Amino acid sequence: MPTASPNPSPTRFDWMQIDLTGKVALVTGASRGIGAAIASTMASSGAKVMLTSRKQADLEATAAEIDGEVDVIAAHVGDADSGDATIAATIERFGRLDILVNNAATNPYYGPTLGVDVPRWDKTFEVNLRGPLLWSAAAHRLAFAEQPGVIVNIASVGGLRTEGALGVYNLTKAALIHLTRQLAGEIGPTRVVGIAPGLVTTDFAQVLVDNFGERLAAELPLGRLGDPSDIANLATFLASDLAAWITGETYVIDGGAGVRGASF
Ligand SMILES: NC(=O)c1ccc[n+]([C@@H]2O[C@H](COP(=O)([O-])OP(=O)(O)OC[C@H]3O[C@@H](n4cnc5c(N)ncnc54)[C@H](OP(=O)(O)O)[C@@H]3O)[C@@H](O)[C@H]2O)c1
């Protein structure tokens, strides 16, 4: 009677290899943090990747570190025409577009929601919500209407709960989660999926990491804060054909914070 498989896990996981060969991805906010990790992981899975954010020099430095076929275009996701121009340039450069990752975001205001001024309210919604809307529209019009693709929206656990000083930012993320569901229903078979990360160690979260990171990490079942690679692995899976029957949903990835109600 057999007692143990000679080679259990490698054979079981071979079929799970994520392969994006032949696909072209465009990642916003790709010069650092989570976006850079997503661009790198997708490139190492075989995709050709266009990295975009506002600063050309930062993009070039990040792209130089990535092993794979990548290029860069500087663009501000809040500019109304930037989605069309960047997606057209990506198709021109790589011949097609299969994956759009709406990752760039900003948070210019910390404080009580009712205390926000109009310029910072507008700025937060322009970058975090109107940007993904217009870039998704451009991707659909210029590529996915003909050849269905995948849109991955990077939201936040803050879009699913209330938090003290992050009310305005969280409103944009709640709306992005809803936009994910809405678009999935409107533009299928293009898949539209969301990711809601907990606290991840990036420049964006530096203040939160400095003030609450140690305590929060100790409260998490998995005992540490998120690394950009954690989010990149999920984004790459969701963008791949392994996730071919997933659309409209947003996936929490937070080291188990939700299990214990851990927050800052
Ligand atoms: N870190 C966390 O704990 C955490 C948790 C939940 C959700 N998230 C979400 O994860 C995403 C990535 O965050 P991150 O922590 O990786 O941030 P990050 O390290 O600050 O990186 C942000 C990226 O977005 C770019 N960017 C900012 N404003 C832009 C604009 N108007 N147009 C184009 N690009 C812009 C930045 O480059 P330039 O400055 O050169 O433009 C940079 O590449 C965001 O959607 C964020 O809301 C983060």
Q: With a 6 A CB cut-off, is 153 part of the ligand 1 pocket?
A: no
Banded pLDDT at 163 (limits 50, 70, 90): confident
Q: What is the mean pLDDT of residues 140-158?
A: 98
Does 2 fall in a domain?
Answer: no
Domain count, the chain: 1
- Which ligand 1 atom is at minimum distance from the Cα of 54? 41
Does 4 fall in a domain?
Answer: no
- Which ligand 1 atom is at minimum distance from the Cα of 127? 31
- Which ligand 1 atom is at minimum distance from the Cα of 208? 3
Q: What is the extent of the structural domain holding 182?
A: 20-252
Q: With a 6 A CB cut-off, is 51 part of the ligand 1 pocket?
A: no
Catalytic residue numbers, as ranges:
169
Average pLDDT over all residues of the chain: 94
Instruction: Please report the pLDDT score of residue 14 as a whole number.
Output: 55
Nearest CA to ligand 1 atom 23: 29
Nearest CA to ligand 1 atom 47: 105
Does 11 fall in a domain?
Answer: no
Does 13 fall in a domain?
Answer: no
- Under 8 Å between Cβ of 99 and 86: no
CB burial readout 158-195, b (16+ within 10 A) else e: bbbeeeebbbbbbbbbbbbbebbeebbeebeebbbbbb
With 0.75 as the threshold, say if the pTM is over it: yes
